[in-house]
Structure 1
Amino acid sequence: MAHYLLRLRPPRASFPEDASGAEMEAMGAHGAYWHRLAEGGPALAVGPVADPAGIWGMALVDVEDEGHAQALADADPIIAAGLGFAYEVMPVPSLILNRGAAPAGDER
């Protein structure tokens, strides 16, 4: 297995402050898609990144190869919606995982 970072770029730097109704609807489907992939699937971590240059989304996935990572990006409903969102798929050649840590907010 290999790790990849999927970086989701929004259609403009001002997103999500000025998101349209169609964009917010597509974001709901996007969130549901990644929740499913995080529940025992290939997604290790998913969420927004508060970059000072503009927010963007990230997913860290554990898959067979880059083709599988790209297929996950391509299958995201936010891409199918055709609203200007785009993914970059980047390999993560080395990763240290804390498999025993509870996510923030988890009361384990």
Structure 2
Amino acid sequence: MTVHYLPVRRPPTAGPQRRLSREEFCRRSGVHPELLRRFVALGLVQAVRDPGGELRFPPGQLADVARIERLRRGLGLNYAAIGLVCELLDRIQELERQLRERSS
């Protein structure tokens, strides 16, 4: 069995960041708008509302959607379980980072 390591969420960067519209995010990620809405509702993808009430997405979320889709296809998990797996993967990354800092 081949193990594929998944990318982890990037920490927020300092300063303002360009955010993508829902349409642009869907086009770039290949995700249907209704599925993206579901990801937001489940907390798998973070979005903010602009002054006009439209959802905007940080470009870094594109990597998160790709990871979600890999977990769905590769492991056959439902989206609720994927949320838990992503949290655990992020926590593992954070613990590994702390370990590296302590050993330096």
TM-score under structure 1 length normalisation: 0.30
More helix by share: 2
The TM-score normalised by the length of structure 2 is: 0.30
Q: Which has the larger radius of gyration?
A: 2
User: Which structure's residues are more often strand, by fraction?
Assistant: 1
Higher relative contact order (CA 8 A, sep 6+): 1
